[in-house]
Amino acid sequence: MKSKILFITLSFFSILNICTTAQQKIEQWNRLELTLNHPFTGNGYKDVHLEATFTGPDTSYVVSGFYDGNNTFKIRFMPQKIGTWKYTTTSNVAELSNQKGKFECIKASANNHGIIHVSDTYNFKYADGKQYYPFGTTAYVWTHMGKELQEITLNSLKNSGFNKLRMCVFPKNYDLVKEEPEIYPFAIKEISKDANNNEIKVWNFDQFNPEFFRRLEKRIDDLNQLGIEADLILFHPYDKGRWGFDSMPSDVNIRYIKYLTARISSFRNVWWSLANEWDYVKSKSHADWDLIAQTVVKSDPYRHLCSIHGATATYYEYWKPEFTHVSVQDESPVQSSGAAAMLRNVYHKPILCDEVGYEGNLKARWGRYSPEEMTHLIWNGVIGGAYVTHGECYMNKDATDTIFWAKGGEFKGTSWKRIAFLRKIVEECPAPLSLADVGRDNITASAGAGYYIIYFGKQMNDSWLFNLPAKNGSFSKLKAGTRFKVDIIDTWDMTIQSCPLIFETAAENDYRLFDKNLKKVRIPLKPYIALRITEVK
């Protein structure tokens, strides 16, 4: 038996730095990769237990390794604290055990803000403290399309304002998505035929296909380069007997989760979405999903964001500790900002409406919103302190079209630009938005002290009598004598115009503060107008 060779790879790319002696440097939240070559004669996926304990400043992590095929075992680690880290491996294979080393974790560079966690109950921050506002879109199986299309998708995303992408590990078999993937997550045991002479692949669930996962990882890293979080969907029901990945035995599901998390927990831009439309996966019980949730959380040393997504109006028990946020498919929370706020009040977690319907021209009602409606619903949610995911479903010919929602490609719609515009407005706010006077005023959001966004939605007005609620969300009540300026935002035309007047609040009158001279703002008599009202000091 040859002795193992230890490699270390740094950064989140596949740039292989072979190094056995010199002390390596790695940025916080980047990825360290230990490679152990060992000609193991058994099944590396099933028979080898390998983990490493990483000990750094005031903290230590136990991280699972994985078999990457070809006599290669790997352990990946994402250090978070600056300083010297040491590691030691343990394994049931003597040659893989007791491997030691150390490295230096250094301060992150400018574009590396770290892993994202929940912040202030309802919102998110990067580990370096920068606020993260999710503005996501959907391309369920873009990584299963041809390479060229994947590159087009990345380019589309690069030129958009999206910073989160919902995407599946497994391929999709659906009326509108029939493309056969190039590669599969498991080795093929045999290929048989069904009654209709269709090929049926019989999988060897004991043998993962590492190349499948390497390609997925490459795309997650590509997204990270673009500042996009990969909201990775681990299971989904869109299979219908074609591959059977929705109905694998429970022990295979668990093994798959452990393998996947060992491979990609160290990717800082990964979120776990346990399922899309979990309740349509008929092979799994509620208890199965609970077990899946527990397994994911237990297998992830970094506690990436984690949720589960059901069919329309199906709410999982998002209060369970495994779930960091709500990821729901429902139009109801975005029909008014008050409804979105209600979900915050129920769950005390960030609310992500990850499917409220999509812009498009499909026959199905979930895929035929006008771009105005898509934009409007996203604004409604954001004003209510929730986050709303975009999707686009234009089919101009037939199901071979690249419908972005599943396949990626180029954006054909027009709401995506408005969402980028909204994102800019939100990111300029001093604090995350939430209704200033919840239950009573469904159009006025506080976005920091002395900073408000009002969204009129479909209501058209030619002027607005300056008035704000006395209540101001989690901030101090609005006081008389406060001076404000007002920007008029056309959310559809993407213009921002400053009103030349300065307003000053009079004393509170029946829960509201008006301008002391009852001044008005003249606004365009159009729908989808918003106001940005900021204190002048």
Q: If you ran DSSP here, which 8-state letter would residue 237 be given? A: S
Residue 372: CB minimum distance to a copy of itself, A? 18
Q: How far apart are CA 217 and CA 533, in angstroms?
A: 43
Contact set for a copy of itself, span 104-143 (CB under 8 A): none
Q: Does 146 participate in binding a copy of itself (rule CB under 8 A)?
A: no
Token pair, residue 15, equals 């740039």
The CB-of-273 to a copy of itself minimum distance in angstroms stands at: 19
346 in contact with a copy of itself (CB under 8 A): yes
Distance, CA of 225 to chain centre: 15
Q: List the one residue from 341, 386, 429, 453 that touches a copy of itself (CB under 8 A).
A: 341
Contact between 335 and a copy of itself (CB under 8 A)? yes
Chain positions 461 to 520 lying near a copy of itself, rule: CB under 8 A, are 510-511
| Binds a copy of itself (CB under 8 A): choice among 56, 185, 338, 385 | 338
Kindly state whether residue 343 participates in binding a copy of itself, applying the rule CB under 8 A. yes
- Please name which of 18, 20, 30 lies closest in space to residue 106, comparing C-alpha atoms: 30
Distances (CA, A) of 135 to 161, 164, 417: 7, 6, 12
- Asked whether the CA dihedral 47, 13, 152, 262 is positive or negative, the reply is positive
Least distance CB 338 / a copy of itself (angstroms): 4
x-or-dash string of contact with a copy of itself, 360-379, rule CB under 8 A: -----x--------------
Q: Residue 131, exposed/middle/buried by CB under 10 A (0-12, 13-18, 19+)?
A: middle
> Do 303 and 117 contact (CB within 8 A), yes or no?
yes
Figure out which of the listed residues 171, 333, 371, 457 binds a copy of itself, where binding follows CB under 8 A.
Answer: 333
Phi and psi at residue 368, in whole multiples of 5°? Answer: -145, 30
- Residue span binding a copy of itself (CB under 8 A) among the ranges 331-339, 398-406, 459-467, 527-535: 331-339
The reply to whether 339 sits near a copy of itself by the rule CB under 8 A is: yes
DSSP strand pairing (463-465 vs 467-469): unpaired
Q: Closest separation between CB of residue 343 and a copy of itself, Å?
A: 7
Q: How is residue 505 annotated by DSSP?
A: B
Identified binder of a copy of itself from the candidate list 241, 439, 479, 525, rule CB under 8 A = 439
Whole-number Å distance between alpha carbons of 239 and 526: 45
Shortest separation between residue 380's beta carbon and a copy of itself, angstroms: 12
Q: Which stretch binds a copy of itself (CB under 8 A): 15-23, 174-182, 225-233, 341-349?
A: 341-349
Strand stretches in 336-477, DSSP E? 351-355, 359-360, 387-388, 392-393, 434-435, 444-446, 451-455, 463-465, 467-469
Q: Of the two residues 120 and 317, which places its CB atom closer to a copy of itself in the complex? A: 317
Distance, in Å, from the CA atom of 443 to the CA atom of 437, rounded to the nearest integer, reads 9
Task: Kindly tell me which of 159 and 336 has the beta carbon lying closer to a copy of itself.
Answer: 336
Nearest to a copy of itself of 225, 509 (CB atom): 509
Residue 529 CA, distance from chain mean position: 28
Give the count of alpha carbons within 13 A of 169, CB side only. Answer: 28
- Provide, rounded to whole angstroms, the least separation between the CB of residue 366 and a copy of itself: 9
Stretch that binds a copy of itself, among 200-208, 325-333, 423-431, 443-451 (CB under 8 A): 325-333
Piece of 137-145, 170-178, 312-320, 498-506 that binds a copy of itself (CB under 8 A): 312-320
Q: Are 175 and 399 in contact (CB under 8 A)?
A: yes
Distance in angstroms (rounded) separating the CA atoms of residues 518 and 417? 36
Burial of 106 (0-12, 13-18, 19+ CB in 10 A): middle
Residues that bind a copy of itself in the complex, under the rule CB under 8 A: 312-315, 317, 319, 330-333, 335-336, 338-339, 341-343, 345-346, 365, 438-440, 442, 510-511
